[in-house]
Structure 1
Amino acid sequence: MDDPNSILSPGMLVRHPAEPDWGTGQVQSNIGGKVTVNFPNKGKVVIESSRVMLVPVFDR
């Protein structure tokens, strides 16, 4: 699998592995290797899938 973030879809919850203080974010979109996530303590962030592998959160 070339892009491990390709499984992420809008509404899914994720964490940024290098930025735990951002909290658990919600995926807004995943288009062309760019994942837009709204984090509670950072706001909306566009993540390059080739640079960061987001961690899905399945339980809170």
Structure 2
Amino acid sequence: MDELNSFLEPGMLVTHPDEPDWGIGQVQSNISGKVTVNFREEGKVVIDGGQIILIPVYNEN
């Protein structure tokens, strides 16, 4: 599953599929399957890319 998050780069916007209340987050880093995301409502969270597939947000509107 790590490969499914491998395209995420710093600056990209994502949501967490199991935590919709966290809102949209901005990817800070993606290193060795660990994705650090700064979510609007939750703050900075490190996601294990082997466990969770983040959902890209291409249009906020």
TM tier relative to shorter chain: over 0.9
Runs of 4+ in 1 over 2 A off after TM superposition: none
Whole-angstrom CA distance in 1 between matches of 2:51 and 2:16: 11
2:26 maps to which residue? 26
Q: Which runs of 5+ in 2 are unaligned?
A: none
Residue deviations 1:11-56 (CA, integer Å, cap 9, x gap): 0000000000000000000001100000010000000000000000
The equivalences for 1:1-60 within 5 A come to: 3-60=3-60
Cα RMSD over matched residues?
A: 1.2
Count of residue pairs brought into register by the alignment? 60
Give the SS at the match of 1:7. Answer: coil
- Percent identity between the two aligned chains: 65
Q: Which runs of 5+ in 1 are unaligned?
A: none
The Cα shift of 1:10 comes to 0.1
